[in-house]
Chains A and B, each alone.
Chain A
Amino acid sequence: MIIFENVSFSYERSKPVITDLSFRIDDGEAVGLIGANGAGKSTVMKLLLGLLPAEGRITVDELEVNKQNLSAVRRKLGFVLQNSDNQMFMPTVYEDMMFAPLNYMVSREEAEQRVDAVLERLGLQGLKYRHNHKLSGGEKRMAAIATILAMEPEVILMDEPTSALDPYNRRIVINAIRELDQTRIITSHDLDMIFDTCDRVILLSEGRIAADGPADVILRDRALLEANHMELPLSLCSRE
């Protein structure tokens, strides 16, 4: 369970990015974090990951996100970066997938089993020994997700998982996200993807929660979305 209690953050004192944010995400929930550019979505992710210092209290399974607990907290969280190139820094997919389990003192044999299991689950066996620099954009994104799944995190955070993907690869990524059973927090401007993958949506506006509720309700609210510089998902527009 993730709890944000009165969390605030600012890069400069005069310009708060996040203001008095409070919400709770239960285990197994799939939550879409949406909002216009600069609304604070990525900052919320970074605060949760302990990459930025927060004012207020953030807890993950009752562990407060602070210096003392950082390692334990991060072990529970898997973060898929927006730019897969920034995530995949080892020469091959296999080595990248082994990186996290070995850091968490999982034995090499068990780590290899995890890698094989994840690749099989995502249907990516063919990528195992491929060199990262030779992967296509879609393959790289799937491999980035695989590296995180090999960590066996309890919560998966994704920053724009479908950005810069063609429709075919986008669909593959969406299907992969839908099949995950962990708690998921996804930030994106791709509201169709959020509609497909999330049960709940938190809409951020200027660092505050503008709406929090079922995806089916919030993503159908044209007035709310337009007031926050967004539009109805295309799939819902065509049904109107």
Chain B
Amino acid sequence: MNKMEKALGELGAMDELASQDSPVHRLNAAAKLLSTIAYIITVMSFGKYQLSGLIPMLLWPVLLFQISGIRVSTCFYKLRIVLPLVMAVGLFNPIFDRHILLRIGGLAVSGGVVSMITLMLKGVLCLMMSFLLVATTPFDTICAAMRQMHVPKTLVTLLLLTYRYVGVMTEELAIMTDAYHLRAPGQKGIHVSAWGSFLGQLLLRSMDRAQELYSSMLLRGYHQHFHYAPVRPFRTRDALYLMLSVGLFIALRLVDAAQLLGHVFVR
């Protein structure tokens, strides 16, 4: 099995995670989507030095991981390619921002280090919540929820078809990579001289397959309108979930819970 086939398997595994059953899976998709958006906005609104205020925001995803029965390690495994990129965002902050912000014992900590950790944490938190949304809600259902929220049809269809075509393109890439390596034994990756034709072929083959898929959809009555899987009705518990989560995010944004807790023990 090559890397592409593994990637394809992981894409399928996400669909399987989303079709499991747990109290989080059973929540209305729109409630989860809105709550996730609220969470991401709250996290992003923290200032670059507000690390202590940001740490309690970890509570929410950890709680959801527990309730949904999805392992945190699964999340980090799936995000292993994106996480280093997110972590790298603030890597140069300690070089440019050298003023001392706080001292821990005798150790001086510069503003750059704090802002770097804050940025990294923000990225990790946002990714964790996005992962939780996708791992507890089938993609079709998320799209259906977006339509319920009056997100334009074209945009939602585009998202859904992109999600589908990623699989098609990965399949083609897997076949081509296998074919290449069978005729280039011992070679790591694709040689630079073959990149042009490789990418060109990949594009042509993906387009052919996409065209065939689209024909198959047309022949089964598709007219630019997707009939999404029915979304679970918005019940009291969904409203409660939404209100509780958004309320908690606002509270954690306004009150620095970590600092407050610290004051209880240290005077």
Contact = CB atoms under 8 A, between A and B. Distances in A.
Query: Is the interface on chain B under 10, 10 to 19, 20 to 34, or 35 or more residues?
Result: 20 to 34
Interface residues of A, number: 32
Q: Is the interface of B mostly helix, strand, loop or mixed?
A: helix
A81 B222 CA distance: 16
B6 interface: no
Given A91-B15, A99-B227, A131-B16, A77 B219 contact: yes
Interface in B191-241: 209, 212-213, 215-223, 225, 227, 229-230
Contacts of B15: 91, 131
Nearest to B167: A133
25 contacts: A51-B215, A71-B221, A74-B218, A74-B221, A78-B219, A79-B219, A85-B171, A86-B209, A86-B212, A89-B216, A91-B139, A95-B140, A95-B229, A99-B220, A99-B222, A99-B227, A100-B220, A103-B220, A103-B221, A103-B223, A103-B225, A131-B12, A131-B15, A147-B220, A151-B220
B164 interface: yes
B61 interface: no
A142 B240 CA distance: 44
A158 B235 CA distance: 45
Interface string B167-184: 100010000000000000
B144 to A, nearest CB: 12
A86 B216 contact: yes
B213 A86 contact: yes
Interface string A68-92: 0001001101110101011101111
Contacts, number: 66
A91 B15 CA distance: 7
Interface of A: 49, 51, 71, 74-75, 77-79, 81, 83, 85-87, 89-92, 95, 98-100, 102-104, 108, 129, 131, 133-134, 147-148, 151
Contacts of B217: 89, 99
Contact of A74 (B171, B213, B219, B230): B219
A89 B164 contact: yes
A194 B15 CA distance: 38
A51 to B, nearest CB: 6
A91 B17 CA distance: 12
Given A91-B15, A108-B230, A134-B12, A81 B212 contact: yes
Contacts of A89: 164, 213, 216-217
B95 to A, nearest CB: 46
Contacts of A81: 212, 216
Nearest to A49: B219
